[in-house]
């Protein structure tokens, strides 16, 4: 591997992608819209960001316009001193008044619209139209079901039924579409147009590391049940990664189900690895070994990881060593190391590189090219609503781009929305640097190194 040449190609290819994306801002950053303003203020005023995200978090739980109005005033009174536009949100207006009622309606509508940018629908049926639009635009999808914590077996069964419904609805409807034809005919990820991501901890209410054996057996049984439905409908399934407590259970369930005689030939079962975890390289090696033992390839989505704040806080409160890399560039570097490992083992796995970072993705694409690995041997994944211009730019370069599309109702959707907003507005956000701060392209395309993100 010629590292110098690889870096040159990343710079060249990445610049091309940048050139395309800088024509348009993702809608989330468009300040002509309500949500774009929220994002802009969040990046300018740290205290507004905290208060606004807390308001977004509580909003769906509020039953009356009076409750909304009083929460708006409570959370945003301070910010309104600096951001005068907030007056139109009903800040400091008596919560019973007619004006407050109108303002609270507008706020709720604004937040709902913001949520809709990231959530494609409330139900599988309700999302069909949007999913069809994506496929027509040349983008594949995997569907994720948003929900509250699963606290009882009743809720676990409800989740299970929602997955069953999603598998059945998509399995029945999607193949009828004209755009269901493979986007890239030779691509293993396009053996089927339907892909569903399963959050395993939602399927068993007593899932915990102290209940390890039973968690694995109950979840294996329930996942197997879903995989049977998926197999009947030719649907690809990914098992999403979660936090450090749950991941060992999830990985074990994945091995038991897809290593079993029944599902050994099930095509490309997906697992997710998180590059921010210090042990992610070893985890990846173990997964590749599993694929070898299985005798049939698996799909591996590589992401940086979505639980950094929660896990870092929790580890420090417990006095544990942080299981995750503390610095962003270490996660970025880990992502690239694992990207190479996956591409080096492409006969055992279908790598799916999940990121919005043009550097990280360009690295994977150019490494593959240098190794002579075809564009039909791996895919790229991005979150729905986060970075359409980037997704489109890679798609135009003939890569398979799959969007991770959440479905669900507003209450559980809010937690997801807040995470997306945080991700977009964080000081370390690549999207923020790309679309808002408009940092130097050459700088953003540099190999991960200390302070490269600063």
Residue closer to another protein by CB (options 246, 356) is 246
Query: For the window 207-236, what string marks contact with another protein as x by the rule CB under 8 A?
Result: -xxxxxxx----------------------
Q: Is 96 in the site for another protein (CB under 8 A)?
A: no
Query: For the window 364-403, what string marks contact with another protein as x by the rule CB under 8 A?
Result: ----------------------------------------
Q: Which of 42, 117, 142, 205 binds another protein (CB under 8 A)?
A: 205
**Residue that has been written with the tokens 């949007």 in this structure:** 130
Residue closer to another protein by CB (options 32, 213) is 213
Measured distance CA(415)–CA(119) in Å, rounded: 12
Q: Which stretch binds another protein (CB under 8 A): 21-29, 32-40, 204-212, 264-272?
A: 204-212
Q: What are phi and psi of 64, to 5 degrees?
A: -125, 160
Which are the contacts of 219, defined by CB distance < 8 A and separation ≥ 6? 200, 203, 204, 207, 249, 250, 253
CB of 74 to another protein, least distance (A): 5
Interface with another protein (CB under 8 A), residue total 33
Q: Which of 153, 232, 262, 438 binds another protein (CB under 8 A)?
A: 153
Residue closer to another protein by CB (options 240, 377) is 240
The token pair at 269 is 């079962």
Q: Which of 175, 182, 248, 389 binds another protein (CB under 8 A)?
A: 248
Q: Is 133 in the site for another protein (CB under 8 A)?
A: no
Q: Is 151 in the site for another protein (CB under 8 A)?
A: yes
Residue closer to another protein by CB (options 268, 308) is 308
CB of 415 to another protein, least distance (A): 8
- Going from the C-alpha of 376 to that of each of 183, 403, 406, 448, the distances in angstroms are 10, 17, 25, 27
CB of 124 to another protein, least distance (A): 23
The answer to whether 379 and 236 have CB atoms below 8 angstroms apart is no
Measured distance CA(49)–CA(63) in Å, rounded: 24
Q: Is 154 in the site for another protein (CB under 8 A)?
A: yes
Rounded to the nearest 5 degrees, what angle is found at the Cα of 320, between the Cα atoms of 240 and 417? 40
Q: What residues numbered 16-55 form the site for another protein, per CB under 8 A?
A: 54
Long-range contacts of 159-167 (CB under 8 A, 24+ apart): 159/202, 159/203, 160/203, 160/222, 160/225, 160/226, 163/196, 163/198, 163/203, 163/226, 164/226, 164/229, 165/123, 165/124, 166/124, 166/196, 166/407, 167/196, 167/226, 167/229, 167/230, 167/233, 167/235
Q: Is 244 in the site for another protein (CB under 8 A)?
A: yes
The token pair at 258 is 């897809």
DSSP labels, 357-393: -HHHHHHHHHHHHHTT--TTS-EEEEETTT-HHHHHH
Residue closer to another protein by CB (options 175, 248) is 248
Tally of CA atoms within 13 A in the half-sphere of 18 that contains its CB: 23
Measured distance CA(64)–CA(61) in Å, rounded: 9
Q: Which stretch binds another protein (CB under 8 A): 95-103, 166-174, 318-326, 388-396?
A: 318-326
Q: Which of 97, 282, 320, 449 binds another protein (CB under 8 A)?
A: 320
Query: For the window 155-184, what string marks contact with another protein as x by the rule CB under 8 A?
Result: x-----------------------------
Q: What residues numbered 54-73 form the site for another protein, per CB under 8 A?
A: 54, 57-58, 61-63, 67, 70-71
Other beta carbons within 10 Å of 150: 21
Strand 195-198 and strand 236-239: pairing? parallel
CB of 12 to another protein, least distance (A): 43
CB of 154 to another protein, least distance (A): 5
Q: What are phi and psi of 239, to 5 degrees?
A: -100, 115
CB of 317 to another protein, least distance (A): 9
Give the footprint of another protein on this chain (CB under 8 A).
Answer: 54, 57-58, 61-63, 67, 70-71, 74-75, 148-149, 151-155, 205-206, 208-214, 244-245, 248, 318-320
């Amino acid at each position: 591997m010629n590292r110098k040449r690889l870096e040159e190609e990343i710079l060249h290819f990445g610049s091309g992608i940048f050139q395309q994306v800088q024509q348009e801002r993702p809608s989330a950053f468009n300040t002509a819209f309500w949500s774009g303003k929220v994002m802009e203020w969040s990046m300018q005023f740290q205290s507004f960001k905290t208060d606004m995200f807390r308001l977004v978090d509580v909003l769906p739980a509020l039953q009356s316009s009076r409750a909304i109005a009083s929460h708006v005033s409570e959370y945003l009174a301070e910010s309104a001193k600096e951001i005068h536009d907030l007056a139109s949100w009903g800040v400091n207006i008596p919560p019973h008044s007619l004006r407050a009622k109108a303002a609270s309606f507008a706020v709720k509508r604004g937040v709902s619209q913001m949520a809709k940018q990231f959530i494609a629908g409330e139900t599988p049926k309700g999302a069909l139209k949007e999913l069809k639009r994506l496929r027509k635009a040349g983008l594949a999808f995997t569907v994720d079901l948003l929900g509250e914590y699963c606290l009882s077996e009743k809720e676990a069964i409800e989740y299970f039924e929602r997955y069953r419904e999603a598998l059945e609805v998509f399995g029945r409807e999607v193949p009828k579409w004209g755009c269901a034809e493979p986007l890239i005919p030779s691509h293993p990820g396009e053996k089927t147009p339907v892909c569903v991501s399963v959050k395993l901890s939602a399927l068993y209410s007593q899932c915990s590391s102290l209940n390890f054996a039973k968690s694995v057996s109950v979840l294996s049984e329930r996942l197997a049940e879903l995989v049977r439905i998926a197999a009947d409908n030719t649907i690809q399934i990914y098992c999403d990664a979660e936090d450090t407590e749950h991941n060992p259970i999830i990985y074990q369930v994945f091995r038991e189900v897809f290593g079993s005689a029944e599902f050994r030939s099930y095509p490309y079962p997906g697992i997710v690895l998180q590059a921010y975890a210090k042990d992610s390289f070893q985890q990846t090696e173990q997964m590749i070994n599993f694929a070898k033992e299985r005798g049939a390839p698996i799909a591996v989505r590589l992401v940086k990881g979505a639980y950094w704040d929660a896990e870092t806080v929790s580890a420090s409160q417990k006095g544990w060593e942080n299981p995750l890399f503390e610095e962003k560039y270490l996660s970025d570097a880990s992502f690239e190391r694992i990207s190479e490992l996956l591409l080096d083992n492409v006969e055992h796995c279908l790598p799916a590189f999940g990121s919005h970072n043009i550097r990280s993705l360009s690295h994977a694409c150019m490494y593959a090219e240098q190794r002579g690995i075809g564009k039909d041997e791996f895919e790229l994944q991005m979150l729905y609503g986060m970075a359409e211009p980037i997704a489109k730019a890679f798609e135009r370069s003939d890569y398979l781009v799959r969007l991770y599309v959440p479905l669900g109702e507003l209450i559980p959707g809010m937690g997801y929305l807040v995470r997306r907003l945080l991700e977009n507005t964080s000081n370390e956000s690549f999207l923020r640097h790309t679309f808002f701060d408009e940092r130097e392209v050459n700088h953003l395309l540099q190999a991960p190194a200390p302070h490269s993100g600063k």
